[in-house]
Amino acid sequence: MRTLISGGTVVTATEIMQADVLIEDETVVAISAPVEGGRSGTDTTASPDQVIDATGKYVFPGGVDVHTHMELPFGGTYASDTFETGTRAAAFGGTTTLIDFAVQTIGEPMMDGYDEWMAKADGECAIDYGFHMIVSDVNEQTLKEMDILMGEGVTSFKLFMAYPGVLYSTDGQIFQAMQKAADNGATIMMHAENGIVIDVLREQALARGETDPIYHSVTRPPVTEAEATHRAIAYAELAGSPLYVVHLSAKEALDEVVAARDRGANVFAETCPQYLFLGWKNLAEPGFEGAKYVCSTPVRSEDQGHQEALWRGLATNDLQVVSTDHCPFCMNDHPTLGTQKQLGVGDFTKIPNGLPGVEERFTMMYYGAIDQHRLSLNRFVEIIASTPAKMFGLYPKKGTIAIGSDADIVIFDPGTSQTISADTIHMDVDYTCYEGTEVQGKVDTVLSRGRTIIENGEYLGAKGDGQYLKRGTNQCLI
């Protein structure tokens, strides 16, 4: 099967070119200057089976979202998107690869968690996917299992300095996992918040009768993120392991990352659209509406310069990746999962942490980068596709358009406008955080390994099309 994408503007992290892209089966086989009269210069002997006209449109690599939580058990319920619904919604939004998190249960082997998550995703996904491993219980066996998982293509391990009693690891456990990573080439991903201090602040707030959603952020002040980020960096430098700080939201935490990178340390960080676009005005929406935006790290006050610092960090490469931390919970009762966000009515500490975003990331980042003139087209591609693929060992199979790359491609129409609305999303959740945002530009057609899976607003794929990705190690190391 030969598909020609003709007449478009191909954009990668390094190029912007008028070019035709020829795909054979699942792979890009040629990129060439278009020839007068519409005939591609890629091949003079054989005509394609299919031509996709991309005239006037951008031809981007498919998005790579390296932080999602389909079906995650959290706060007494489960994230409402399954691997089926969440990966299909991702495809609608222009994301063709995601990396989710398998979870170790405390007291149980890590391999059991890996097997469980592999089974959940198997045969369900619309797009290609991989796993990081959440390490909930660092012990002698876990450390050995980190080596085994590296062989399975799980080359990154997330630890938590937050959520005491749930996913939290002690400093000693974290340091041991980092020493193992230094030895076997893994990347340590860190949820960097001082959960012990945060728990004290939460109890004190509740005792004062401060129960509304906004207190979720008030009781997780920037210093609790910055301190934990500093500590994680110190341990990673001592152990000699790469460190990737997840969902960074506070400018003070970014300062810690910048200082480490200036020292030449292998320290990296992602932020997420919610921290670039949302703030306390959202958390303070009337009634219980603010619960929509409860996630950790929290969205921050607009008055303290966090958003500006994050955008600057993206421009300067102090921040390297934008992921979503997609972890949706419904505001109204979910048909099968029941009460979700409402678990926290009258007590913000019981609101399940997390929000939806896997479908809007590509579009919202285009909106912030291009419509709002904050970043170049190349940098847009770099932060939503190329660097995420490199960071987690998938490049150049994923994250670019190059000869030999998987034909994961988004044809994006800058000439069509759209208004983001809960009425048109495909995620299994009853709201979008970006309701009413008017975006100049729209995902038009999406190809996953050469197959057109989104066209004219229709999903043309089938569950199970997505394949498991065995990943290599971090390709961003200094």
Residues of the shown chain interacting with Zn ion in the complex, contacts defined by CB under 5 A: 191, 325
Q: Restricting to residues 214-253, which ones interact with ligand URP according to CB under 6 A?
A: 247
C-beta closer to Zn ion: residue 58 or 392: 392
Q: Restricting to residues 313-342, which ones interact with ligand URP according to CB under 6 A?
A: 325, 327
The counts of H helices and E strands in the chain are 14, 21
C-beta closer to ligand URP: residue 69 or 300: 69
Residue 247 CB, nearest distance to Zn ion (Å)?
A: 6
Residue 295 CB, nearest distance to Zn ion (Å)?
A: 8
Helix (H, G, I), strand (E, B) or coil at 208: coil
Residue 296 CB, nearest distance to ligand URP (Å)?
A: 4
Angstrom distances, CA of residue 358 to CA of 81, 209, 267, 376, 429: 10, 34, 25, 22, 11
Q: Does 429 bind ligand URP (CB under 6 A)?
A: no
Sign of CA dihedral 163, 169, 175, 180: negative
Residue 270: closest CA among 145, 357, 149, 143: 357
Residue 31: closest CA among 45, 46, 15: 15
**Residues with Cβ < 8 Å from 245, sequence gap 6 or more?**
189, 190, 192, 229, 232, 253, 257, 267, 268, 269, 270
Q: Please identify the residue of the shown chain whose CB is closest to the bound ligand URP.
A: 353
Residue 29: closest CA among 294, 326, 314, 403: 403
Placement of tokens 């990737």 in the chain:
244
Choose the contact partner of 62 out of ligand URP, Zn ion, none; CB within 5 to 8 A by kind.
none
Residue 287 CB, nearest distance to Zn ion (Å)?
A: 27
Site for ligand URP (CB under 6 A): which residue of 295, 314, 330, 365? 295
C-beta closer to ligand URP: residue 168 or 395: 168
Chain centre distance of CA 110: 23
Instruction: Identify any residues that bridge with 131 across adjacent strands, giving them in sequence order.
Output: 100
Q: Does 296 bind ligand URP (CB under 6 A)?
A: yes
Residue 406 CB, nearest distance to Zn ion (Å)?
A: 25
**Residues with Cβ < 8 Å from 455, sequence gap 6 or more?**
445, 446
Q: Does 454 bind ligand URP (CB under 6 A)?
A: no
Choose the contact partner of 320 out of ligand URP, Zn ion, none; CB within 5 to 8 A by kind.
none
Strands 409-419 and 58-61: antiparallel
Choose the contact partner of 445 out of Zn ion, ligand URP, none; CB within 5 to 8 A by kind.
none
Q: Does 191 bind ligand URP (CB under 6 A)?
A: yes
C-beta closer to ligand URP: residue 68 or 400: 68
Tokens of 49: 């089976």
Q: Does 156 bind ligand URP (CB under 6 A)?
A: no
Residue 267 CB, nearest distance to ligand URP (Å)?
A: 19
Asked, as a colleague might, if the bond just before 187 is cis with ω within 30 of 0, I would say no
Q: Restricting to residues 68-87, which ones interact with ligand URP according to CB under 6 A?
A: 69
Residue 335 CB, nearest distance to ligand URP (Å)?
A: 22
C-beta closer to Zn ion: residue 70 or 126: 70
Choose the contact partner of 132 out of ligand URP, Zn ion, none; CB within 5 to 8 A by kind.
none
Helix (H, G, I), strand (E, B) or coil at 419: strand
Tokens of 379: 């940098």
C-beta closer to ligand URP: residue 28 or 295: 295
Alpha-carbon distance of 462 to 123, in angstroms, equals 10
Residue 161 CB, nearest distance to ligand URP (Å)?
A: 11
What does the DSSP assignment read for 107-145? Answer: TS-HHHHHHHHHHHHTTT-SSEEEEEEE-S--SHHHHHH
Residue 452 CB, nearest distance to ligand URP (Å)?
A: 32
Choose the contact partner of 95 out of ligand URP, Zn ion, none; CB within 5 to 8 A by kind.
none
Axis-axis angle for helices 140-151, 110-121 (nearest 10): 40
Site for ligand URP (CB under 6 A): which residue of 354, 388, 399, 461? 354
C-beta closer to Zn ion: residue 31 or 89: 89
Contact positions toward ligand URP, by CB under 6 A? 69, 191, 247, 295-296, 325, 327, 353-354
